[in-house]
Amino acid sequence: MSFFSSNDNKKEQIVIFSGMEGQLLFNGKPAKNTEIKIWTQWKNEEGETTTVTTDDAGNYQIPVEMDDYSSNPLAQLVVSQRITAVYEGNEYVIWNLGKFTANMFDEFGGSKPSAIQCEITDDLTPYRFDSVVMETSCVWDGISELKEDDE
């Protein structure tokens, strides 16, 4: 058995994306029937894309994404996430995130978020906390308690 390859690596389920539900807005009004693209990358260059569509009130639900992972003491887990909204033929970035952990709700500071609203027309605001670096136009209850990355 080599130091660099071990049969002792146990696979575990990790959270690639915690999932979220909220409301998508365009200039303060519901962005109804808008396609939302969720791109995640962690195990290859291409990543994976899933899509959801908002309802007539701009509400959406993005499912949890999990996968198997074999930990390696010589490697750091890095998960990238990007969410875009395709509204009236234009694509808007509403979420860019990199995280270095695999726990549920790490994207939100460790707690399940509530009252998520994403305003397509807002600039992305940068945040850095725990093992997460992100920029988003989304807000939720408790986001103001996270450390903003303007220091």
Residue 150's pLDDT is 45
pLDDT in tens, the chain (151 residues): 444 554 556 788 999 999 999 999 999 999 999 999 999 999 888 999 999 999 999 999 999 999 999 888 888 899 999 999 999 999 999 999 999 999 999 998 888 888 999 999 999 999 888 889 999 999 998 776 665 444 4
For 57-115, what is the HEC assignment?
CCEEEECCEEEEEECCCCCCCCEEEEEEEEECCEEEEEEEEEECCCCCCHHHCCCCCCC
Cα-to-chain-centroid distance, residue 99: 9
> What domains lie within the chain, and their CATH numbers?
12-145 (2.60.40)
Look at the block and give the residue holding tokens 């509400």. 59
Question: In this structure, is the dihedral angle defined by the CA atoms of residues 107, 137, 76 and 62, taken in order, positive or negative?
Answer: positive
Give this prediction's pTM.
0.87
At 75 the pLDDT is 84
